[in-house]
Structure 1
């Protein structure tokens, strides 16, 4: 953690789940902003900003608020996301659009807003919370998996475009026991019903902190973390 000190971070989706666990771990040592539809009760030292990352104007306001209260950040964690379980031949394209806006375009808006400042400063870290679904299509999960696969393509593109100044890390969890399953746009799974066991949000957050705490010349570009019994 000593290599994370003297830095500043922004976490999207930091009001709950994996994002919240990352925020709680980082807030103990560095200045931090959290963006979420409902940031919730966070330590008083955290800059909590209500923000819908699917809205360009709201991301602009987020940028202005973070700049005013923290200055230039050098850690961006894109954790905002939502799930969906629908059969492709029967699903609702409007729901699909919502998932694409949140999981993919929301992250792209944050990159466009905050990474240029990292490039100008000559250093930074961007972490994308993906999913093992990015590499494994499954029935009823096509739209969600597609957004995560696209997000990983974005991550690799960003890595190449920002070399050598910005490190880019993808953390791809397997089944994780959070409120994610309760908030899917449509779906029917729970961690228990999937049947492989589940990670905790804190265990995924530890993987993020491990990547961030590497020496500047070391870049962990992809971390897959899953319950040991999960087959994909």
Structure 2
């Protein structure tokens, strides 16, 4: 099926985990796809481009904009997926690490929006997808900074939706526990999907939710999808 044939997509954090699954679904659906990551993976498929980019750097995002524009053209699908986790007690944690989380999960997405969404508005159409988390708005011990970053991201998403309608659609996809290296790559703290105890969904399920939203008719906007293990209570 080629539901997205003729469209151009950019996925941040697209070389592993959920981002890699989303990029794969976009490619299979026919979209010309660019992947931006700290260590971009090579792809053998046609119409797939890999770019190195640290979204915490404004200069790096500016360079990404130039590179993507020159090689692929401006995207009409932007997936803000890059993010990191942290598991620290607020009275004992490291504020420098907290800043890294905010720079990646929140400001990084804002930099991508500021760089790429104006082109969508000028073209008169586009889609922006934010990969959030069920942690958004859900306080839990040791998760305050991560949850706050995702909660703020969802406020940004809703604000963007109001600012860009009806030309650009905005979707938030909020996964629960997902079977990726997310927990292994947290800045501090340690958890696994197994010790959380709810099971884990494969990243392809999250990617399927993204594709579902993108493939709705232009007059239909899917603004928020939560996808998680059936056993997960929040």
Correspondent of 1:152 among 145, 154, 164:
154
Give, in whole Å, the separation in 1 of the partners of 2:42 and 2:183: 21
Q: Deviations over 1:97-146 (max 9, x none)?
A: 00000000000000000000000000000000000000211000000000
Check the 8 A contact 2:120/2:126 in 1, yes or no: yes
Counterparts of 1:1-232 in structure 2, within 5 Å, are 2-28=2-28, 29-45=30-46, 46-232=48-234
Contact 1:73 1:114 in 2 (8 A): yes
Kindly report structure 1 stretches of 4+ aligned residues shifted beyond 6 Å.
Answer: none
Contact 1:7 1:73 in 2 (8 A): yes
- For the residue of structure 2 that corresponds to 1:167, the secondary structure is strand
Task: Give the TM-score normalised by structure 1.
Answer: 0.98
Distance, in Å, in 1 between the alignment partners of 2:2 and 2:45 is 22
Q: Structure 2 stretches of 5 or more lacking a match? A: none
In structure 1, stretches of 5+ residues that fail to align are none
- Tell me the secondary structure at the aligned position of residue 153 of structure 1: helix
Q: Structure 2: how far apart are the matches of 1:40 and 1:139?
A: 35
Between the two proteins, the alignment pairs up a number of residues equal to: 232
SS of the residue corresponding to residue 183 of structure 2 reads helix
Deviation, 1:72, is 1.7
Query: Once structures 1 and 2 are overlaid, which stretch shifts more, 64-73 or 107-116?
Result: 64-73
How many angstroms does 1:2 deviate by? 4.3
Report the Cα offset of residue 171 of structure 1.
Answer: 0.1
- Counterpart contact for 2:137–2:148, Cα < 8 Å: no
Q: Deviations over 1:156-186 (max 9, x none)?
A: 0000000100000000000001011110000
